[in-house]
Structure 1
Amino acid sequence: RSGEAAHSGSSGELVRVQSGHGHFVHLVYDTTPAHVISELRPSVWVRADRPGIQFLVRVVFPHVANPRTGKPVTRLLAGSTYTQQGSWQQLRVDDLPKLVQAAVRPMRSQLGSHIDVREPYLDRLVLNLYAGAGTTRIAIDDLDLPSAVAVGNATEMAGRAAQKRGPAESPARRRVELAGNVLQVDGQPFFPRMVEYQGESLNFLKGLGFNVVRLSGAPSDALLEEAKRAEMWLVCPPPVLKDEPADDAQDRPMVFDARYEPVLAWHFGQGLTSRNLEAVRRWVEQVRRADEDAARPLVCDPADDLAQYCRTINFGGILMLHRYLLGTSFEMADFGTWLRTRPRLGLAGMPVWATIETQYSRELCEQISLLSSGRAPEPAASLEQLQLMVQAALAAGVRGLCFASRSPLDAQDPATRARAMMLALINIELHAIRSWIAVGNVTPEIKAANTEGVNPGITGGVLQAGHARLLLPLWTGTGAQYVPDQLAGNLITFVVPGAPEDNTVYEVTVGGLRSLDRKRSVGGMHVVDDEFGPTSLVLLTNGIAVSAMNSGLPGAGQRAAQIERDLTAYRLARVQEIDRQLARVA
């Protein structure tokens, strides 16, 4: 405590937070359980040198058991966010009953409409102190919980929730399945944001916004346990299995038990050719027998013979596609077309995951190093290049993205820190549109035009989910695999066929939604964007989708703004260093 942190009285809490790139740093205060009533309005006074701190409360639903743990389900409900940098501001959580009702709707979708949500109570106050990478100083004082009505039997109610599962019942395994070409987890659409594992902490990768880690080998027991604690999914090769059962019970073929619960899907290899086909077929048969209860999806990434490999993993299979783009002669503008046409060599309707390169190939980097006698730095992909590849993949209808990485993302050199920041920013953008990219149907590409009626090198991909459409810009300039063109345009018009007349139109950014001009004319809805950039997504929808998207954008926008600021500082430092090197040469 410090007098410097006092809002009233003689002292308050002074906290200094130093963090990397992530989403949260929680300071928690456990309180006496209190009934959720409209008069209960928790508040706290905060002063900080950066905006973005958020006040939350934890609510317990004592009669709803978590199917994995047997304990009562809890939810964090968000209150106000700190905006008055350098000044005291009261953060509050108002209208708790309304917030609880909003939290109940997705719970019923996930756990069933039969759940008993009576008697919710508040048991914890939370400050999310994360305001972006770097150091933040926060003064905290006058934490208040007025009109609190204590819950006298919270422990007893929690025990009743556990008993509803049955005394001998083990925690339910999470269900991973394919519904058509949509991946579902516990019945809800799921879009994997995956990264190749290079030994980083799984909590670190989760902080960058990834929800899946791809391994090159079978997971160890320690890594499986770490994934369970971090609530991260794994995509990995299965462990080695025996061909036939032996007389000795210890030599019977393996059955994948509860240790493997964090495994989302089994991956059978990258760059597979016809020479590997028979071995993979035998392996797939063994894995299906060993994983009969969970029946996880099977993934393969063949270099040729796609039809045979797709038939091998047919039921519950996912095709993974990987193509090197950065620094090659393959035009980045053709990447989406390749992703759409390549699966036709396999099986129609099979879901596709795409790999996104985040670094130039090792071979190219070695060539550059040799030609420069080791003086040239390793080339680095730009944020715009990564965004172009991601947009093309999404517009092609992929159901998951894997970001390739051949070196750890937690290394402390400036280039790696910048790469981690770029991926964190892209994950924020992907999270904002997850409802569309997980289930949306791809419609034919549409053309764009400027005020002179000329296409400025942009087409649009459209994902339709229900009555809502998400338009993704696709920049078609040449040479972007080396250096992208200027990815900006003014007064760009798209014509979206089939959009309902009562749809409103918004530009979607992680900072929020901005209304755009639109009119009904020949060919469909004419949408005009006065300032169009590489990630200028356009949403055509009714009010329901707008409310759902708006609810998650404010906090994300603050994190994204801080990342973009840090990336700009990195770019400036890099340009200044190059300028100094050129001056020495001159």
Structure 2
Amino acid sequence: MDAPGPTYSFPQDDLQLLRKSWLCLAVLMGWMGVSLSAYADFAETFDSEQTSFRIRVGGTRSRVLNHSRESKSAQSGLRGEMFRVEILEDGNVIQAEMPISKGRALEGVSAEIFLKSNRPGAVLALKLICASTTHPETGHPLELIIEGNTYVSSGQWQKLSCTLTEKKLAEKVRPLRAKYRQPIPLSELVLHSVMLAIPADRGLIDVSLDELKVSPIVPVETQPHTLTTPSDIEQASHVDFRLDRLVVDGKPMMPRFVPWHSESPSDLRKMGLNLVWAPDWSDIESLSELRKAGLWATATPPKPKSATGENLPADEAGLPPFLPNTSPILFWNLGTRVTSQVKDDLLNWVEQVQTADRQFNRPLCADVIGGERLYSRYIDMLGMSRHVVHSSMSFTDYRRWLIEQKLRGRPGTFAWTWLQTEPSPNWRKFTANPLQPEGSGLSTVSAEVPTVDISRGQSPTNIPFVHYVEPEQLRLQAWIAATSGYRGLGFWSTSPLTDDSVLNRERRLAMTMLNLELELLEPWLATSTPFAETTFTVERRNSSSRREGQSTAPKPSEKDSQELIAAVLRTESGTLVVPMWLESKSQYVPAQLAANSATILVPEGNEAAMAYEITPTGIDSRKHRRVAGGLEVVLPKFDQTAVILLTSDRQLIAQLEQRAAIYQAAYAEACLELTRLKLERVRLVDQELQQMGVGQADSPQLLGSARIYFEQAEYAFRNQDYRGTQNACQAALQLTRILQRAHWDEAVRKGNSPLSSPYSVCFQTLPLHWKLISRMGRSHLFQGENLLKSGDFESPDQLISDGWTHWQNDVPGWMALAELCPQGQESRYALRLAAFEQSKDEKTPPADQMLDHEPLLTIRSPAIEVSPGDIVYMSGNILMTKPIVGPWEGLTITESLSGKAGYHRFQPSPAWQRFEMVRPCTDAGQLQWILELGGSGEVLIDNLQVRKLSPAESATGHSKPEGSGNSRLRGLIPRWPGRSKTPANMP
């Protein structure tokens, strides 16, 4: 028997890859409605005498000397095609193009040709055309050029090739889609011709060509299966973009929408909404109901998925065309909180949706938290959102954040944002399952407030003590966003708006009032451009003092220039000026935010313009005069926000008055009902606090005056005096804010931050805050053991053994470090966190794009087990002599129970600062400190502690905890292994 000859077997991985490739090809062909037998090859041997390539030479001083087929130009066979070109100036390019059989531009299609030239640099390419998409400038079908490899062997034959791949197609198609805002369906790309591009400097250039082959060719006559014919689909879309302005049926639109939780469409429309986020794009019946009620819809489109549920890429699968019955969908919503980590999957989805929706060409929107620059190239409507209510971020910081986020996208991007209408889930969980250990005194009252006539003294007995977004906080969010260049507002809600609870009724009424204002001004807000920002001055209102040494209204201070902000917006019909009072703590509990008068200096004001204050209850002219630097406008009263229109167009004012007449009755009615509910809610919380011994002495006078104003509002409404109704309601609500803020100021007076307690970030939970403080005062909390053994930062080995974790974000051009530094507060060492920006070249992207909403450095303490009913007291000290400067959050410190909602942010100070947190535990779990550094600078942290009070330890004999400056608890946070040799200084 002969010995077997040498054999070769494919490795198992190669066999699997080969099988998968053929399987994907077969699936793709099946989806397109063709079979593998439909493949063919295009070949040209150049043996005939007729030339095939068309030669074009750039420049006027160049010419083709010879173009023919000759035997001496053949690489094989009888003849080859050759041409000689004389170039008389440098910098020209020779283009040779040859038509080929039309075929579908599938991945794997390859062109090959043999070439010989006396110069290197020739490139082979395939030209593709998209018959369904026209070039906006020429009107011809859009063309794409896919390049192959380059000729390098001068004087010798070399085989050049060009192969279509997913990557090459994506690199060509995506920029064109973004540039021309047209769908470019990959399924309709067709092979058109083979091209050669040959760089040509001065002199003679000889080129010989032979043996061209293009394979495989799937004829374009083989059409893919579709569910409809072109005649079945609407050709026109309701929506259009003009620059960054959304135009619907020829009119500018400012989307105002909510997630739909099966509320009545008519009820949602009465709230002034114009769009809802429908949960099911294919529920045609529900979409039709929305449209009949005057509401548009947005919906999340489907995704092509494999049999195992994985998302399929655009080159393997697509979506069938969307049918005309989806026309109530105005634009597609690709989700919320989209991170940059999923960009490949999202961009594939974008391509699939655009291909399926090419007849409607509806915009795409997504709410993103990273990758704004990239996503703004492919997403028409870019959402950028964050929670601000009950956080350490002030409304001034929130406005600055919105402006900076918008700048991270491409210029001209349509920006929108979600507004917070309900508390963060991290706060809500502290009252969703309230602590009720025996004898703790902590209980959440869950009864609701029925509709009552408070002017007659009727009232219920209880209301829920839960976290709540005040109507004023919702208003400030909306106007901050609208004046920061955001042209769409979403009202984030996880529960039905028509739920009849007292707090939900307030929320619904606040949204109604706000939407009516925005709808009145929609033609101007939807087309306005932020022009300038200025400050204004107010004359504070006098009110009775609550107790000796305290005044109801704060005295003027230097921070007014940061809190009193007026945004100036340019429109086609005039200038909009929106003054806003962004008091520094109103994200917790709104201050009075009202004044006897306000004076605004509008820069570059039109001398011929008149000033008008715009409200849904009427249009009023306001005093104004020309002064140095602009136009000075005076408002006789100011409450939270105002809208002033500067224009010389009297006809425009007449139109506005007609529009206001449509809204004034509904607006006044909503204002009256909101005042009724809030007065009673504040009265009941005040009553609870009075019974606990932490009431305000002047609350009867404040509530009594508010009740009188409310009765005046009722009288005005009965007499159809809608402006009088609004003014009286505003006066009553100002008094409730004074009382709310007085209670809150007292609750946080001794604390170093409102975030120290989960119940001190909101007025509605103040009774729970005082009950928590009372329980802590009866405990042995401050004599308990520090549960962080390595909290003194004296032992690097113990830091490692205890399980401290250290994560760094590797960002080019940045260095971050965590180490022990011999500069502790009470002990020898402290934890030093530092980061700085190193030198970088011009190609390095900006820091904000590289960080992408991630900190540079994160430190987590060991986990500590907690049980339901535990109360955990956490404290520490920090030394920050200079601000942390960077594109992220600077320095933030929080714990794992409240998460990002409980972020503590710090201002520079020459001395050590103390911070404290009290957290009741509603569930069993683990507790950790979380320290994050997100910018350039350094900070020292020392004496981090965790002490726990368990239910069995509730004892008497200890007083209520002292204020922030009197607690003397030793350090809790461990330092990182590796001590610095010098005191903390920036590297």
- The TM-score with structure 1 as length reference comes to 0.66
Aligned to 1:388, which of 473, 476, 486? 476
The reply on whether 1:489 has 2:575 as its aligned counterpart is no
Task: Report the equivalent of 1:258.
Answer: 324
Structure 2 counterparts to residues 389-408 of structure 1, below 5 A = 389-408=477-496
Q: Distance in 2 between matches of 1:241 and 1:488?
A: 54
State the match for 1:549 in structure 2.
Answer: 656
Matching residue's letter, 1:299:
C
Contact 1:512 1:557 in 2 (8 A): yes
Q: Report whether the alignment pairs 1:276 with 2:276.
A: no
Instruction: Note the C-alpha offset of 1:544.
Output: 2.5
1:213 is matched with which residue?
276
Report the equivalent of 1:525: 631
> Residues of 1 paired with 2:515 and 2:421: CA distance?
13
In structure 1, what residue type is equivalent to 2:321?
A: V
CA–CA separation in structure 2 for the residues paired with 1:169 and 1:281: 28
SS of structure 2 residue aligned to 1:270: coil
Answer yes or no: is the 8 Å Cα contact 2:318–2:352 preserved in 1: no
CA distance in 2, matches of 1:474, 1:276: 38
Aligned residue runs from structure 1 range 101-112, under 5 A? none
Q: What displacement does 1:470 show?
A: 1.1
**What does residue 503 of structure 1 align with?**
609
* Number of matched pairs: 413
In the alignment, is the contact (CA less than 8 A) between 1:468 and 1:545 conserved in 2?
A: no
Return the letter of the residue paired with 1:352. A
Give the whole-Å Cα distance in 2 for the aligned partners of 1:410 and 1:230: 16
Q: CA deviation at 1:355?
A: 1.0
8 Å CA contact 1:299, 1:320 repeated in 2: yes
- 1:225 Cα offset (Å): 2.4
User: Contact 1:176–1:264 (CA<8 Å) still a contact in 2?
Assistant: yes
Match for residue 574 of structure 2?
468
1:499-524 C-alpha deviation (Å, 9 max, x unpaired): 22111111111111112111111011
- Alignment deviations for residues 525-545 of structure 1 (CA, whole Å, 9 cap, x no partner): 111112112232111112122
**Displacement of 1:263:** 0.8
CA distance in 2, matches of 1:554, 1:278: 50
Letter matched to residue 637 of structure 2: E
Query: Aligned residue for 2:684?
Result: 577
Measure, in 2, the Cα distance between the counterparts of 1:201 and 1:241: 32
Q: 1:284 to 1:244 in 2, by over 3 A?
A: closer
Structure 1 residue 173 displacement after superposition: 4.7
Match of 2:642 in 1: 536
- Output the CA distance in 1 between the equivalents of 2:347 and 2:524: 34
Structure 1 gap ranges (5+): 1-167
> What SS does the aligned partner of 1:238 have?
coil
**Is 1:567 aligned to 2:637, yes or no?**
no
Please, which of 601, 618, 633 is the counterpart of residue 512 of structure 1? 618
Instruction: From 400, 417, 426, give the equivalent of 1:337.
Output: 400
C-alpha distance in structure 1 between counterparts of 2:557 and 2:392, whole Å: 31
> Match of 1:349?
412
8 Å CA contact retained: 1:270, 1:302: yes
Q: Per-residue deviation at 1:297?
A: 0.8
Alignment check: 8 A CA contact 1:320 1:354 kept: yes
Cα pair 1:354 1:402 within 8 Å, conserved: yes
Q: For each residue in 1:304-354, what CA deviation from the matched residue of structure 2 results, as whole angstroms up to 9, or x when unmatched?
A: 1222222233xxx11101101111111122222211111222212101011
Deviation at 1:491, TM superposition (A): 3.0
Is the counterpart of residue 288 in structure 1 residue 354 in structure 2?
A: yes
After superposition, residues 65-80 of structure 1 pair within 5 angstroms as: none
Q: How far apart, CA to CA, are the structure 1 residues paired with 2:371 and 2:244?
A: 21
Say if 2:239 and 2:248, in contact at 8 Å, map to a contact too.
yes
Letter in 2 for 1:323: R
Corresponding residue of 1:192: 255
Q: Taking every aligned residue pair, what percent have the same amino acid on both sides?
A: 29
For residues 373 and 313 of structure 2, the distance between their equivalents in structure 1, rounded to whole angstroms, comes to 28
Structure 2 Cα separation of the partners of residues 245 and 286 of structure 1: 6
Question: What does residue 135 of structure 1 align with?
Answer: none
How many Å separate the matches in 1 of 2:247 and 2:528? 14
| 2:340 partner amino acid | S
Shift of the 245–345 alpha-carbon distance from structure 1 to 2, 3 Å rule, reads closer
What is the letter of the counterpart of residue 525 of structure 1?
Answer: L
Q: Which residue of 1 aligns with 2:240?
A: 177
- 1:411 deviation in Å? 0.9
| CA deviation string 1:228-267 (max 9, x = no partner) | 32231112211234769999xxx98310111110111111
The structural deviation recorded for 1:301 is: 1.3
For 1:204, the equivalent position in structure 2 comes to 267
Return the offset for 1:374. Answer: 3.6
* 1:155-170 mapped onto 2 (5 Å cutoff): none
TM norm structure 2 = 0.40
Q: How big is each residue's C-alpha offset from its partner over 1:94-127, in whole Å with a ceiling of 9 and x where there is no partner?
A: xxxxxxxxxxxxxxxxxxxxxxxxxxxxxxxxxx
Contact 1:245 1:253 in 2 (8 A): no
Structure 1 residues 63-82: Cα deviation after superposition (integer angstroms, max 9, x where no partner): xxxxxxxxxxxxxxxxxxxx
The match for 2:509 is 421
Code of the aligned partner of 2:513: L
Give the SS at the match of 1:269.
coil
Per-residue CA deviation, residues 419-454 of structure 1 (Å, 9 max, x unaligned), is: 111111111111111121110111110121246998
* CA drift at 1:216: 4.9
Following superposition of structure 1 onto structure 2, how do residues 13-92 of structure 1 map, counting pairs within 5 Å?
Answer: none
> Structure 1: how far apart are the matches of 2:639 and 2:467?
24
Q: Distance between the aligned counterparts of 2:373 and 2:315, measured in 1?
A: 35
Unaligned runs of 5+ in 2: 1-230, 306-311, 436-441, 446-463, 540-555, 694-987
Secondary structure in 1 matching 2:334: strand
* Per-residue deviation, residues 34-60 of structure 1 (Å, max 9, x unmatched): xxxxxxxxxxxxxxxxxxxxxxxxxxx
Provide the C-alpha distance between the structure 2 equivalents of 1:171 and 1:295, rounded to a whole number of angstroms.
11
User: What amino acid sits opposite 2:569 in the alignment?
Assistant: L
Please give the alpha-carbon distance, in whole angstroms, between the structure 2 residues aligned to 1:169 and 1:258: 8
CA distance in 2, matches of 1:188, 1:355: 23
Q: Is the 8 A contact 2:365 2:383 kept in 1?
A: yes
- Whole-Å separation in 1 of the counterparts to 2:684 and 2:322: 53
Q: What amino acid is aligned across from residue 500 of structure 1 in structure 2?
A: N
C-alpha contact 2:625 2:632 (8 A) present in aligned 1: yes
1:439 corresponding residue in structure 2: 527
Partner amino acid, structure 1, of 2:269: K
Distance 2:340 2:363 in 1: 22
Asked if the contact 1:219/1:236 (under 8 Å) is kept, the reply is no
Q: 1:240 to 1:224 in 2, by over 3 A?
A: farther
Give 1:403 deviation, angstroms: 0.6
Change in 2 beyond 3 A, CA 1:244/1:367? closer
Q: CA deviation at 1:572?
A: 2.1
Change (3 A) 1:495 1:207: same
| 1-structure distance, mates of 2:678, 2:582 | 25
More relative contact order in 1 or in 2 (CA 8 Å, sep 6+)? 1
Letter in 2 for 1:377: F
Query: 1:368 Cα deviation (Å)?
Result: 3.8
Q: For residue 557 of structure 1, report the CA deviation from its aligned partner.
A: 1.7
Measure the CA separation in 1 of the matches of 2:413 and 2:314: 33
Kept in 2: contact 1:436–1:463 (CA 8 A): no
Q: Using the alignment, how far apart are the partners of 1:363 and 1:459 within structure 2? A: 31
Per the alignment, residue 311 of structure 1 pairs with: 377
- Structure 2 contact 314–351 (Cα < 8 Å) conserved: no
Aligned to 1:312, the other structure's residue is in SS state coil
- In the TM superposition, residue 582 of structure 1 has moved relative to its aligned partner by 4.1
Q: CA separation in 1, counterparts of 2:628 and 2:670?
A: 42
1:4 corresponding residue in structure 2? none
